[in-house]
Structure 1
Amino acid sequence: MALAGYITKIIMVETGLTYKQVRRMYKELEDEGLEICRKSRTARGGATLIHSHTSKIEASLLMQLYYNIAGEAALRSINIDALHVAYQMYCAIRNETPGMKGTRWQMLDITDAWCLAQELRSGEAMIETCHSCKCNYFTSVNQRTSVDCPFCKNQACSGKNEEESLTHESNYSYA
Structure 2
Amino acid sequence: MRRFPGLSLANPVDLLALGFGSGLAPKAPGTFGTLAAVPLVYGMLWLDITSYSLFVALSTLLGIYICRSAADKMGVHDHPAIVWDEFVGLMFTMWAMPANWALLMVGFLVFRVFDILKPWPISWLDKRLHGGTGIMLDDVLAGIASNLVLQLILATTIGHDWFL
Report the TM-score when normalising by structure 1.
0.28
Between structure 1 and structure 2, the one with the greater Rg is 1
Report the TM-score when normalising by structure 2.
0.29
Higher strand share: 1
